[in-house]
Structure 1
Amino acid sequence: MNDKLIIPPRPDLLIDIQQLLSHANPETSELIRLIRRDVALYTVLLSTVNSPLFRRQFLIESVEHAVATLGIQRVSNLVQAVAMRTSMDPDGRWQRFWEAATEVATLCHQLAHNTQCMPADSAYTLGMMHDIGVAVMRGSFENYDVVSGDANSCNAAFIRRVERNSFATDRFEIAGRLAKEWYMPDDVSEALLLQAHAQAALMGNATVSDEVLSANSLLILAKDISAEYQSYWNFESREALNKLVHKAIDYLAIGNHEYLDMKDDLVERLAMAEMES
C-alpha cells in the first residue's frame, strides 16, 4: 500500500467502548459515562437517533433515554460509527460528506429492517463507512480530489482502477482496512473491501460470498434512494432504475413494485423531516 497513506488510529473512546462490550454484562452507566466524555459525539449521537428514518414517535432527549429506548448494544454500535466521524474530522470541515454518509447509513438501517438481509446495526455501520476511504485519501494525498473527481459518478470497478493507477490503493481497500483495524464486524469490513467485486458479481462477472452480495445489494439500494432524494429537492427527473439496482433488487428478492413503494415512502419521510426541521 502507498507509504503516503495515513490510516487514523482507533479513537481511545472507541477502544474503551469495545472493551466494555467485551464483558458478559456491560454496565449501562459506564457506557453513558463514556459517551458523555465526548461532547461532539454526544451531540451527533442524539442527532442520529432522532433522524427521520431512525426515530420513534417521540423525541429522544438524552443518552440515558437512547439507551433505555434502543438498548445498550444498538447504542454502542451507533456510537462506534459516530466516533469515526468525530475522530477523523474534529473541525467539521467535511460536513456535507458526513451528512451524505449518515443519510446512506440510516437508509441502510431501514432497508435491513425491511428486508432482513443483514443485522440492522451492521447495516448502519456499513452505510456510514462505505465511502470512508475518500476521507482518508483526501487527508493523505493533496491532489486526490483532482485525480478522482471524474471517477465519483462511475461504477466501483472504474473508481478502483483510476485510484489504484494514481495512488497504488483505492477507497474500498482503505475502508476495509480501517474497519478491520478499528475492530468493526468482520462482515462489514469484508463488504466494504469488496464493493467493486460485489458489483461485478451482481453483473455476473465475479464471485463473492452471499454475505458480501447481500450487504452490497443493500448498500446499492440505499445509495439509489439517497440519489432519488437529492433529485426530489432539485426538481429533476431521474432515469429508470439502472441495471445494477435491478440486479440488487433481484438478488434480495424484493420485487420492483415493492422496492419502488419502499423507495417512495423513504424519500417522502426524508423530505417531510427536512421541511419540519
Structure 2
Amino acid sequence: MELSFSEEQEIKYRVSLVTDVPPLPLALQRLADLLQNDITSLGELERLIRYDQGLTARILRVANSSFYGCRGQTSSLSRALVLIGFEQARRLCLCALLLELFSSGRSLDAQERERLWKHAFATGRIAGEIASRRPWTTVDEAYLLGLLHDIGHLVMAVYFPKHYKVIHDLAAHRGVYIWYVESEYGIGHNMIGKWIAVKWNLPEVFQRVMEYHHHPDRSPSYRSEVKIIHLANALVLSREHPALLTDMETQNCCRDLFITEEEWGSYQVCMDAIWPEVDQFWNLLK
C-alpha cells in the first residue's frame, strides 16, 4: 500500500491547518516545572493537585489500589501522596494530565493508544537511567523529554487517523521502522512534535528533542540531551527492531556520551525490568 501524491499533499495541508490541538493547561505547565525542580516538596505537589478534582480522585484511586496495599483505607490526599511517594506521584500526575489532554472529544483505537503511551513511559524511564550517569541533564528532565519526544505520533494518530494507519501499515508491510516511511513522504512526527512544543511554549530543549531525536547530530543545540533520548528510543524499540541497538547512529551517540559497551549492555538488561513496571504504570493510569 502506497500513499498517493494527493494523500501526501492532503496530510501536509491539514497539518498546517490544525488549530484545535489543546493548549497546555496551567496545571500541566506548573507540574512540568515542578518535575524539573529538584527542591520542590510534597506540600507543593499537594497544593497543585487540590486545584484539580479529577486529578485528586485519580491519586486517591491509585493509592487505594492493591498495588499499594491500601485497599480503600485512605481518603486523605496527603496520606495518598505519602503512600505513592513523591517521585512516583509527580510522574503519575504528569502522565494523567497528558492522557486527559488528548482523550476528550477524539477517538483513538484503544490498543494503539496503549502502545503509544507505553512507549512514552518506557522511553522516559530508561532516559532517566542514562541521564543518572551523565552531568548534562537531570533524571527528571530526561524522563520528561523521553515522555514527550514522540508527541507528534500521538497528534497524527488523533487528528489524522486514516493517514496514520496507512503509514503504519506500509511500515509493517515493508518490515521497517515507521520513521523511514515518514521520511519518504516528508510528514514526520518529529516536525509535528516540534510544532506542538512551540505551540505549548516549551523550552528549546524540548523542541530540539522532538525534531532531532532520530538524527541527533543535526540538532543545532542540546545535542547531549537529544542523544540521550535517541538512545532511550532505540532501547525501547529494540524489541521489534533489534538492529537499532547497533546501527551507526547508536554507536555515534554512545561514543559521544562516553557510554562503554558494558554500560550499553546494562541498559539492555535494564529494559527487561522496565517493561513490567511500565505495564503496572499503565494499569494504574488507564
Same fold judged by TM-score > 0.5?
yes
Pick aligned residue for 1:187 from 199, 205, 208: 205
- Output one character per residue of 1:48-93: Cα deviation in whole Å (capped at 9) or x when no partner: xx9xxxxxxxxxx8324456x44xxx96576345422221035883
Corresponding position of 2:71: none
Percent identity between the two aligned chains: 17
Q: TM-score, normalised by structure 2?
A: 0.66
Q: 1:270 aligns with which of 267, 274, 278?
A: 274
1:224 is the counterpart of 2:261:
no
Conserved? CA contact 1:179–1:189, under 8 Å: yes
Determine the structure 2 residue equivalent to 1:246: 251
2:116 equivalent to 1:97: yes
In structure 1, how many angstroms separate the alpha carbons of the residues matched to 2:178 and 2:224?
18
Q: Secondary structure at the match of 2:17?
A: coil
Give the gaps of 5 or more residues in structure 1: 51-60, 165-169, 232-236
AA at the equivalent of 1:245: T
Is it true that 1:171 corresponds to 2:189 in the alignment? yes
Structure 2 contact 136–225 (Cα < 8 Å) conserved: yes
**Counterparts in 2 of 1:176 and 1:216: CA distance versus 1, 3 Å:** same
Q: CA deviation at 1:10?
A: 1.9
TM-score, normalised via structure 1 length:
0.68
1:112 deviates by 1.0
Q: Structure 1 207/25 Cα, relative in aligned 2: closer, same or farther at 3 Å?
A: closer
Are 1:85 and 2:92 an aligned pair?
no
8 Å Cα contact 2:120/2:148 also seen in 1: yes
| 4+ residue segments displaced more than 6 Å | 18-21, 43-46, 274-277
What CA distance in whole angstroms lies between the structure 1 residues aligned with 2:235 and 2:95?
21
Distance 1:18 1:272, change over 3 A: closer
Could you tell me which of 115, 118, 124 is aligned with 2:134?
115
1:112–1:118 CA contact under 8 A, matched in 2: yes
The match for 2:224 is 214
SS in structure 1 at match of 2:101: helix
Per-residue CA shift, 1:183-232, capped at 9, x if unaligned?
Answer: 4333122221233442xx2xxxx4622x1x2122212221232234x36x
Cα deviation for residue 271 of structure 1 reads: 5.8
* Residue of structure 2 in register with 1:31 after alignment: 48
User: How far apart are residue 34 of structure 1 and its match?
Assistant: 3.4
Counterpart Cα distance in 2 of 1:160 and 1:2: 17
Please tell me whether the aligned partners of residues 171 and 181 of structure 2 are also in contact (alpha carbons under 8 angstroms).
yes
Q: 1:13-28 residue pairs with structure 2 within 5 A?
A: 13-14=27-28, 17=31, 28=44
In structure 2, how many angstroms separate the alpha carbons of the residues matched to 1:216 and 1:39? 34
In the alignment, structure 1 residue 143 sits paired with structure 2 residue 153: no
Aligned length: 241
Query: How far does residue 251 in structure 1 lie from its aligned partner after superposition?
Result: 1.2
Match of 1:9 in 2: 23
Structure 1 residue 136: Cα displacement: 0.8
Distance across 2 between alignment mates of 1:17 and 1:25: 11
Distance verdict in 2 for CA 1:156–1:5, change over 3 Å: farther
> 2 CA distance for matches of 1:44 and 1:2?
40
